[in-house]
Structure 1
């Protein structure tokens, strides 16, 4: 990795991403300093990576710094990154580092990238399953958990890369062979400042050879049409036009690659089902087909795919009421899709909205709400939206309540045939470690109350 040898690189953040970046930089013979506000994280890193200089709480890069590699959570407005920019030091993310290191290889891996407001992790998982069904040495990486730089150093031939808007912001030169923008809705506005800035970051995935977009979303369709990619491919839940993938007569159909109207897989074989799951499958299939994967492997990979936890998981059914854990619905767009899968819902929601509005969600889906149980930091914001747009819906706003209290309240509202759905429309870190912790708390509460008949 010649371009890094001897260069002084500051890694900002000592979490999983920072550790992987520092390890890769050391392997490339860079001189590495790591900073973090957490002394505990730095102490843990000291045991893992001897040879790295650890400096807590830096507010400006050390003299002689040639490059800064930041973890995604750090904003451009943070004093350290602002100081680096003012000093003329380039700031990039770990994904950009992986991209540049890959370009130094004689035979770099192929990048197939996925972004969007919702469905990224499911799509990347489906894509990995399809690629492996085709016998390709592929791995899901990026925002899905495995840092891209780790996948690169492991020598994997195809990287199915999940990219958040923040990672794309810090990845100015990444040009995946094929990239898909699934959908766009308000999210992470507290980080980007405006929806326009958020959308512009997401559009970075459409700058490679093949750009794929969900054309049922008008904003995505516009960004796809203006993409600099050589080939534009749309996907739709309707019947596809030429150059698109879509659904016809209960089949996922490809009109963009290979034979015209080639059937890839029956919709019934796609899991998770429903419009969100089918859209994710179409996106994954489009990326795989762009890479030359045959229809038979697409079908096999989608059938083999197992959805992740906390994504529209049926916990149990009791007394005619189903209980669904969709804790991964961490923004209003995802929550709307979750509610849309049921005719009559008692909605369990709340947390950190991150600047997003729930008005459109409540306006469009309020008619299907039997009731709502609101928890978390922004519960009153959601309560206000319900009062404006669905005033007839019974609402329980729980202050300082446990998930057991929330499930008990939801159960009291539900009638036979209803679904009690945890679709928070918000992030979880006000009360929980992450969305998985929140989802497990819901699952435990449901099973505990149902089993004890409470």
Structure 2
């Protein structure tokens, strides 16, 4: 039998995939109140270690210090289990910010070549396998990379890194190692796009590497005219990486194909209230680097900034350094609100602790004008108060629209 550790969306799909192969599973999850079995002979329990299993497949988000991981003798990732049986081309996309946009852009420009996306956000690999894509485009988290030891892609796209998920990985250095470890397994025919400041991690890489510092580096390397790309930073870099990766895999320029792509919601998404004042929903800005990009978009204007949530132990000092000397007021919400207030005092930036989002919106409402910008870019995850960043963004828009 195979043990599945955790029973979220990924392992729910994986269970059906494994059962279709005639293999039974022991599924272990703290949410199970009592032990049970289903019609396929699968066992649902809190304690998988009592059963003899040949391998243990963790849900990607389960941290390495979890008891179930420590009890495992043969950890195998979802990637290793499914992709070892796949022979089609694969593009993996990772990094701190921009993974989802770059993945979506790749799927958009490669749809005529049989490209389909899945992975970290979207379609689980076990479901994607049913569609039999000719090109697998996988948004790949540091969690998945941590547990993956066998398989590797033909093309690996790594966006710039900044501190994220530090409490999960244990340190920023460990986070970087997990992001770059895949290079050791990639073949001589493979291609990788790696930020130039991580060049030292590419020494053992056998394939072809493109080191980049910015969008211009990529445009120059592939002869792409930046004037033909209809996006501004940070989305311009996402587009360049998608176009370069697509050309490597399909052998054709896809610049024309990307022009019709539309940026998804909750990413520097502008809207106006009944008074015509500008509000910006950047709820997907879940770390400091993302919020820095959002602030630079409105540099030189008065900004009312909503920060806060679960910051995953990240160092936010670079974000506060970015705000120094600018006309910015912070409205702190969520789990790390007190931490934000302390940092604000240290960097002499005005800060009001609001605790919850609707109070922050109401406070900004009293100060906001036609010339200022009200920006939700929390530099933190949402799960301390919301089901997802999407839920948080939707509530933000709803609160603003309900203002008098």
Q: TM-score, normalised by structure 2?
A: 0.92
1:211 counterpart (192, 204, 222) = 192
1:419 counterpart (370, 373, 379) = 373
Task: Report the counterpart of residue 230 of structure 2 in structure 1.
Answer: 269
Note closer, same or farther for the CA distance 1:164–1:51 as it changes in structure 2 (3 Å cut).
same
Task: Report the counterpart of residue 51 of structure 1 in structure 2.
Answer: 40
> Is the aligned partner of 1:298 residue 2:276?
no
- Given that residues 308 and 337 in structure 2 are in contact (C-alpha distance below 8 angstroms), is that contact kept between their aligned partners in structure 1? yes
Per the TM alignment, residue 306 of structure 1 is displaced from its structure 2 partner at its CA by 1.9
Task: Report the counterpart of residue 79 of structure 2 in structure 1.
Answer: 95
In the alignment, the residues of structure 2 paired with residue 15 and residue 313 of structure 1 have an alpha-carbon distance, to the nearest angstrom, of 29
- Given that residues 348 and 422 in structure 1 are in contact (C-alpha distance below 8 angstroms), is that contact kept between their aligned partners in structure 2? yes
Unaligned runs of 5+ in 1: 1-7, 103-107, 247-252, 257-261
> Is the aligned partner of 1:430 residue 2:402?
no
In the alignment, the residues of structure 2 paired with residue 41 and residue 432 of structure 1 have an alpha-carbon distance, to the nearest angstrom, of 28
Residue aligned with 1:420, SS: strand
2:90 counterpart (111, 116, 138) = 111
2:305 counterpart (329, 342, 347) = 347
Q: TM-score, normalised by structure 1?
A: 0.83
1:374 counterpart (327, 332, 335) = 332
- Given that residues 14 and 41 in structure 1 are in contact (C-alpha distance below 8 angstroms), is that contact kept between their aligned partners in structure 2? no
- Given that residues 335 and 423 in structure 1 are in contact (C-alpha distance below 8 angstroms), is that contact kept between their aligned partners in structure 2? yes
Task: Report the counterpart of residue 69 of structure 2 in structure 1.
Answer: 81
Deviations 1:382-419 (A, max 9, x none): 11111111x1x3321013x3x22211212333343221
> Is the aligned partner of 1:129 residue 2:116?
no
Per the TM alignment, residue 283 of structure 1 is displaced from its structure 2 partner at its CA by 1.1
- Given that residues 347 and 369 in structure 1 are in contact (C-alpha distance below 8 angstroms), is that contact kept between their aligned partners in structure 2? no
Per the TM alignment, residue 176 of structure 1 is displaced from its structure 2 partner at its CA by 0.4
Task: Report the counterpart of residue 200 of structure 2 in structure 1.
Answer: 222
Aligned residues: 398
Deviations 1:247-283 (A, max 9, x none): xxxxxx5x24xxxxx335635513xx3x210111111
- Given that residues 109 and 152 in structure 1 are in contact (C-alpha distance below 8 angstroms), is that contact kept between their aligned partners in structure 2? no
In the alignment, the residues of structure 2 paired with residue 286 and residue 263 of structure 1 have an alpha-carbon distance, to the nearest angstrom, of 9
Residue aligned with 2:14, SS: helix
In the alignment, the residues of structure 2 paired with residue 237 and residue 192 of structure 1 have an alpha-carbon distance, to the nearest angstrom, of 27
Per the TM alignment, residue 438 of structure 1 is displaced from its structure 2 partner at its CA by 0.5
Residue aligned with 1:179, SS: strand
Note closer, same or farther for the CA distance 1:404–1:172 as it changes in structure 2 (3 Å cut).
same
- Given that residues 105 and 242 in structure 2 are in contact (C-alpha distance below 8 angstroms), is that contact kept between their aligned partners in structure 1? yes
Task: Report the counterpart of residue 59 of structure 2 in structure 1.
Answer: 71
Per the TM alignment, residue 332 of structure 1 is displaced from its structure 2 partner at its CA by 0.9
Equivalent positions of 1:252-291 (< 5 A) are 253=220, 255-256=221-222, 262-263=223-224, 266=227, 268-270=229-231, 273=232, 275-291=233-249
> Is the aligned partner of 1:387 residue 2:387?
no
Deviating 4+ runs (over 6 angstroms): 40-43
Note closer, same or farther for the CA distance 1:129–1:65 as it changes in structure 2 (3 Å cut).
same
Per the TM alignment, residue 31 of structure 1 is displaced from its structure 2 partner at its CA by 2.5
> Is the aligned partner of 1:23 residue 2:24?
no
Residue aligned with 1:368, SS: coil
Residue aligned with 1:281, SS: helix
Residue aligned with 1:387, SS: helix
Note closer, same or farther for the CA distance 1:320–1:417 as it changes in structure 2 (3 Å cut).
farther
- Given that residues 235 and 283 in structure 1 are in contact (C-alpha distance below 8 angstroms), is that contact kept between their aligned partners in structure 2? no
Per the TM alignment, residue 293 of structure 1 is displaced from its structure 2 partner at its CA by 4.1
Task: Report the counterpart of residue 448 of structure 1 in structure 2.
Answer: 402
1:362 counterpart (310, 320, 344) = 320
Task: Report the counterpart of residue 259 of structure 1 in structure 2.
Answer: none
In the alignment, the residues of structure 2 paired with residue 42 and residue 227 of structure 1 have an alpha-carbon distance, to the nearest angstrom, of 47
Task: Please provide the CA RMSD for this pair.
Answer: 2.2
Note closer, same or farther for the CA distance 1:141–1:375 as it changes in structure 2 (3 Å cut).
same
Deviations 1:333-391 (A, max 9, x none): 111111111122110010011100111111123333431111001011111111111x1
- Given that residues 178 and 210 in structure 1 are in contact (C-alpha distance below 8 angstroms), is that contact kept between their aligned partners in structure 2? yes
Unaligned runs of 5+ in 2: none
